[in-house]
Amino acid sequence: MSFRTIIEPFKIKEVEPLSVTTEEERVKYLREAHYNPFMLKSEHVLIDFLTDSGTSAMSSKQWAAMMDGDEAYAGSRSWLRMEAVIKDLTGYEYILPTHQGRAAERILYSHLGGKGKVFISNTHFDTTRANIEFSGAEAYDIPVEDAKHPMLDKPFKGNMDTKALEELIKKHGAENIGGVILTVTNNSGGGQPVSMANAIEVKKVCNKYKVNYFLDCCRIAENSYYIKHREAGFENKTYKQIAQEMFALADGGVMSLKKDGLVNMGGFLALKDKKLADECTNLLIITEGFATYGGLSGRSMEAIAVGLQEVFEPAYLEYRIRSTAYLGEKLYKMGVPLIYPIGGHAVYIDAAAFYPHIPVTEYPGQAMVCELYVKGGIRSVEIGSVMFGKYDSNGKLIPAPNELVRLAIPRRVYTQSHIEYVIEVFEKMFEGKDKVRGIKIVEEPEFLRHFTAKFERL
Ligand SMILES: *Cc1c(COP(=O)(O)O)cnc(C)c1O
């Protein structure tokens, strides 16, 4: 398309008012939330970029389908619709519904995991790693070298290092590999895409050593967009065909439908192998629900069946990827340091480079998150030493590799004028930025401290 303006390929039928607050009020709300945006009330947030998970707006077709939900315990018509859509997309025979992605992960990885087992991924998402480690197994991340250079402009920085993959398999022994997991797009790696060529390379290694190959396919539609536009030979294929080609390479897939399912809750596990599927179905019935609903209501399964088709529509994907890039490119031109190129679902800002006067021990990312809220009512999340920092035996901080702030963009929720507003807030972020102070932690739990820690401004 040759127009400058990215129009939203939908019009508005129902509106949810945003709460407009003053800076003075936000200073108070942030203090009451102990400078932790996870503790803010959402009604005090103007633009919510905390996550793209489960925050999508549903279409009128999805809402209409929900009215036709069949809430039968077994053999629900809505399940059959959802199953048919997933079978068509993945080409896999066995589909297990779950209430969200991590439930599918728990079933598959607790079954294949356990002490002595090893999983290998381009980058394990945090719930993936947690489920693997909880089973007693080990998880190794092997992103390509390009991924380690935040500003390097390369098309597929989400790829897996296949040389390292082969070495790890040899080192641990093929019989001890629980699975190789290709995360598309690579969420924890900045939302960067994975090429088909890389997915094929991974397949070759997995075939050679006869190890399980799974896709963590939460954002496979977004990934397909990048393949069509950046990888030779895919120009004339549809987004869905590209996704189908990638699924055909693997032995199974785990999906959080809260991302590219365009719904607020849901997930699935899809497998080629009957024996593995039967074993996983036993676990599904024990903890999630019967095999034809797995923790989902009939109406949710209807919304999923429609959402999984809408997400591959060209006008939607064009809008989705271009509008995220639009925000990132504008910030980049303004001089905001960030991970480049811009990923599919979020913009990741380098807060340590933005506030060079704030040492990592005073959490520059958390300082930026607080400033964004106070100045513009924008909620974002720190992905740095608050989230991933550890302490050594003397209680000294071992910082995370990067001090990032993530602006995750919910699907179909905000318009271009919301995005223009966010850009304006960033212009204000430059005013007096040298005087912004760091943050200290005053109270923290032992695990996943970013959710509930309390902070103070220095
Ligand atoms: C969100 C996500 C998950 C976990 O899904 P939930 O629905 O949040 O449980 C797993 N992997 C990736 C890559 C994700 O983005």
8 pLDDT higher than 60: yes
The dihedral of CA 39, 41, 46, 47: what is its sign?
positive
Residues 357, 223 share a domain = no
Please report, in angstroms and rounded to a whole number, the separation of the first and last CA atoms in the chain.
49
Q: Of all residues in the chain, what percent carry a pLDDT higher than 90?
A: 91
CA 105 / ligand 1 centre spacing (Å) = 9
The residue type found at 10 is: F
Report DSSP state, residue 186.
B
Q: Give me the torsion for CA of 242, 245, 251, 255, rounded to 10°.
A: 20
More confident of the two residues 150 and 114: 114
From 272, 294, 310, the end of a domain falls on 310
Whose C-alpha lies nearest to ligand 1, atom 5?
101
What is the position in ligand 1's atom list of the atom closest to the CA of 183? 13
The whole-number pLDDT of residue 1 equals: 53
CA 126 / ligand 1 centre spacing (Å) = 8
- Note whether 258 and 264 are within 8 A (CB): yes
The count of structural domains within the chain is 2
- Mean pLDDT score, 363-388: 95
From 277, 310, 343, the end of a domain falls on 310
Distances in Å between the Cα of 231 and the Cα atoms of 52, 197, 213 are 26, 9, 22
Whose C-alpha lies nearest to ligand 1, atom 2?
256
* Protein residues with CB under 6 Å of any ligand 1 atom: 53, 100-102, 125, 127-128, 183, 187, 216, 218, 256, 258-259, 267
Whose C-alpha lies nearest to ligand 1, atom 12?
125
Question: Rounded CA gap, 266 and 296, in Å?
Answer: 7
310 pLDDT higher than 90: yes
Q: Give domain status of residue 16, yes or no.
A: no
Length of the chain: 458
- Mean pLDDT score, 287-299: 97
Token couple for 431: 């005013």
Burial (CB < 10 A; 0-12, 13-18, 19+), residue 188, is buried
Residues 320, 305 share a domain = no
Of 258, 260, 269, 448, best ligand 1 pocket probe by most atoms within 8 Å of the beta carbon = 258
CA 20 / ligand 1 centre spacing (Å) = 31
Of 50, 51, 53, best ligand 1 pocket probe by most atoms within 8 Å of the beta carbon = 53
Residues 6+ away with beta carbon under 8 Å from 176: 116, 117, 118
Residues 357, 255 share a domain = no
- Return the CATH number at 231: 3.40.640.10
Question: Rounded CA gap, 428 and 214, in Å?
Answer: 44
- Note whether 212 and 206 are within 8 A (CB): yes
Residues 306, 201 share a domain = yes
Q: Give domain status of residue 10, yes or no.
A: no
The whole-number pLDDT of residue 389 equals: 87
Residues 198, 306 share a domain = yes
- Return the CATH number at 426: 3.90.1150.10
- Note whether 211 and 169 are within 8 A (CB): yes
Look up the domain containing 371 and give its range.
23-52+313-457
- Mean pLDDT score, 339-363: 96
447 pLDDT higher than 80: no
- Mean pLDDT score, 128-139: 94
DSSP 345-382: SEEEEEHHHHSTTS-GGG-HHHHHHHHHHHHH-EE-EE
Per-residue pLDDT tens over the stretch 61-87: 999 999 999 999 999 999 999 999 999
What is the position in ligand 1's atom list of the atom closest to the CA of 258? 7
The whole-number pLDDT of residue 140 equals: 97
CA 337 / ligand 1 centre spacing (Å) = 27
Q: What is the mean pLDDT of the chain?
A: 96
Residues 70, 37 share a domain = no
